[in-house]
Structure 1
Amino acid sequence: MRAVDIIQKKRDGIELTDAEISFFLDGAMGGTVPDYQLSAFLMAVYFNGMTKEELKTFTSKMMHSGDLINFEGIKKFLIDKHSTGGVGDKTTIALAGLFAAFDIGTAKLSGRGLGHTGGTIDKFEAIDGFKFPETKEELINMVNETGTGIMGYSDKIVPLDKKLYSLRDVTATVSSIPLIASSIMSKKLAVQADGIILDVKVGSGAFMKDIDQARELAKTMLSIGDSFNRKVVTVLTNMDQPLGHAVGNANEIIEAIETLKGRGPEDFTELVETIVALALQIKGDVSTLEEGKAKVLEAIKSGKAIDHLKAFIACAGGNPDLVDDYSLLPKAKHEVEVKSNKSGWVYRIEAEEIGKSAMVLGAGRETKEDIIDHSVGVILKKKVGDYVKEGETLAIIQYNDKNLDSSIKLLEDAYTIEDREVSKTNVIFEIHSVNVL
């Protein structure tokens, strides 16, 4: 068997056997298949895709290229929620309290952000004294005690994905649906979970810019989940504008807490309620989404969700009093209001530009070496469909001593205001599932 013959076969659109895929990927990991041949293979996949059977083998080889993480000591029903990323996406923070309220465990591996704001780990580290588990045993203990456990990704999990992605990035093959799907699902499948919920962002602030592309990715990931007989739900959600009002780190912690107090933004609240309701369906506690949402509202009204978030913060070494005293979180030295230069309805908000306006202040990283400023960010006062008068505030920039003018320019350019009335947009587009609903 030769690598060049496998490349040729895939180039010509002929289905590869399990043995051929295994041979090729083993060679990629072992160094017998050089990067130039691996790059040629990735381009052939980009143009010809992969069949369901090819994807199953490809994903399995990725998944087994490193450690598989099992949580034998966890006594809870485990849900792994993954988002493809977006501006203002603080969903995991709110889920920490809500999942625990229903005895659902979250044992997930998360990364630090490289982009407009910090990742999940960065956001929680806005809390003074907050420390994540450093070992699997610490993670298991935290999940059993609080329902929630989050720790950083290890290079030992799916190392083949890291190798492939570095080549995809420089060979213009990042946008291949099969390669994206196998990359995400190999990491999800490598970590034990009873159910997987995938939040696929769609729009200007997401990697997937249009609904058809996002739907294809969702269906491909569901197909992979089906191949491994796993319970998987995909939720296609709107990222044509930032999620909620807060974009940053500390301010997103506050908005997530406010949501658990029943005072969250409409779009973010809808997303959180939907994801928790889906988790309850996967667990078997409810039979319909509406029934699940009703239970979520009960958990918020009773204070149960906020109590569980406090317990998680305390277990991680943070001060749970911050839930009722936001002065315990980092606060920027200054604020400036960005005002509208015309009257009309907000027609569009370019989410990516809002993300950049927060990043240049220090809320995110341009390079891995950059240090996050947890205190800075943006608070949107107007969203798509809102009417705004000339001189009225569009957003508030929270800043210290860095790049204010750039941030203002990016934010102003992000808003499009029209004379005609504009409808508010839905946050949930579609829900698909396999082996669940």
Structure 2
Amino acid sequence: MDSRNGGGNDPVLPEEYDEGDEVLEVIDLDDQDDQDPNDDNVANEIGDMDLENYEEYDESEGGEMEGAESDIPDDAEAWFTEHTGSVFCCDVDQTGSGLVVTGGEDDKGYIWNIADGTKVSECTGHKDSVTCVSFSHDGTMVATGDMSGIIKVWKLDKMEEAWSFEGSDLEWLMWHHSAPVLLGGTADGDLWMWKIPSGDCKTMQGHGCQTTCGKMFSDGKRCCVGYEDGVIKVWDLKQTAATHSFKDNSGHSGGITSIDCHEDNILALSGSVDGTAKLLNTNSGKVLATFSAGPVNSDIGDTNSVEAVALCNSHPFAAVGSLNGALGIWDVPTQTLRHTCQHEVGIVRVKWDPAGSSNVFTAGLDGCVRLWDARSGQMVSSWGGHRGEILDMSVTRDGCTIVTASGDTTARVYTIQKPDR
């Protein structure tokens, strides 16, 4: 079997490689084989969002929704209010430390306690909106990245800067599942991979088009990357080469907004502004199915752009959420639509319960989080309190706590009373 497609026993990265006259030592990710790369079931989905899609919902100063009332019921258990602009991104440390990191329009990142919203540390030195934040797999480091291309890594034991890099405009950022390796995609289309804190790096050159999102497979050997022109590439991280490229008839007709990868290391799901999601076999390079986001509901908006996709690792389901308010629950083996869960506003985030139930969370432009039963298609519960649109959502490993980032300048923490599975 070709090791580029997940087979074979070759190390993921060589101990050293030549790049021109320069030799850089790079971590051998196979040294991490004794660790379970699936420990972090909550993926760090930190692809950059096209914020222009949300402008129609940001009618008043400060990102607050038009007509918002001060007496909106607030279901949050804790709040973080240090940001002075929209909060674009959030991530929860999955090791159980109780820490959250957020980034915002105020050019700042903050680390804070999930229990009470108290500030732990400020991530300084950014020159533009902080749009990417992520904890490392072992919870020892956190990365923050801004739109100008400044990336900083902070050691959490001392709350001090451990590494920094300045490149071209940053689109997304994520950590390896089981190694101190950071990956990022830039507006010029390149995919970067750094060993932290040494900064040794590899670069996988794009095709001259902006990369919009990326997701690593659970085996840690490959990464699925989406581009503004609708192309999806599967990159081998050892060979720094694309093993498959989905484009033209096998790609999307519009920019890629989101990607998810199944734990089987074969299936991937992509969402696009063209209103479709595609189920991909990344070993064969074939498109298995195309899922529609449904017809445009003019009462909600004029676009059915698929903003969020997610594959369930415990059930054979796929979730597709659109800016037109439709959440489609698809059966993967039969490639048929099970349910359409209609929202009255656009959906910006979709996440399956990481604890293994058939429940799926959605975050909407109305500032609410909803929990749906994928088997019945019925809404189980909902949580509100934001005065602006939700822009990002992170869920703890046990599926019992949600953190949301909003255009109302706050982040909120919701505790989930989970129903029986």
TM-score by structure 1 length?
0.28
TM-score by structure 2 length?
0.29
Bigger proportion of residues as helix:
1
Bigger proportion of residues as strand:
2
Q: Which has the larger radius of gyration?
A: 1
